């Protein structure tokens, strides 16, 4: 996969891929907002997607979100490869940020 992603990145160049990345982030955000707006609001439990739970069918909005997440991850991987950032270092930073946020929750902080 690494070689194929680098081929794409080298073909289009970093600047074009960064612009494309922005559009992919926007599309993911739009898909999540569309899903949230589609779900019904119940004042007692919040947003609930009743249709999917009753029919047991795949939610087309969730499928769309899945595709957009994949697009964003492909772009993120190209950026990671371009800057030669090891996955292990990203995981370390993620662990730090997760632990920091959990500590904030434990401390009763509301701000993210």
> Would 25 be classed as within a structural domain?
yes
The domain containing residue 69 runs over which residues? 2-85
Whole-structure pTM value: 0.76
| Number of domains composing the chain | 1
Specify the 3-state DSSP secondary structure of 84.
coil
> Would 31 be classed as within a structural domain?
yes
> Would 79 be classed as within a structural domain?
yes
Nearest-10 Cα torsion for 37, 42, 43, 46: -60
pLDDT tens readout for residues 88-112: 999 999 999 999 999 999 999 887 6
> Would 15 be classed as within a structural domain?
yes
What pLDDT, on a 0 to 100 scale, did the predictor assign at position 48? 55
pLDDT tens readout for residues 6-63: 999 999 999 999 999 999 999 999 998 888 777 655 555 555 554 554 444 567 888 9
28/22 Cα distance (integer angstroms): 10
């Amino acid at each position: 996969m690494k070689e194929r992603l680098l081929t794409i990145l080298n073909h289009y160049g970093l600047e074009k891929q960064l612009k494309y990345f922005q559009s992919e982030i926007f599309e993911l955000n739009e898909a999540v907002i569309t899903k949230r707006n589609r779900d019904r609001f119940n004042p007692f439990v919040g947003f609930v997607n009743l249709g999917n739970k009753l029919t047991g069918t795949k939610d087309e909005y969730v499928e769309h979100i899945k595709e957009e997440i994949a697009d964003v991850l492909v772009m993120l991987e190209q950026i990671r490869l371009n800057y030669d950032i090891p996955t292990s270092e990203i995981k370390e930073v993620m662990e730090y940020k997760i632990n920091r946020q959990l500590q904030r929750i434990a401390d009763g902080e509301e701000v993210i």
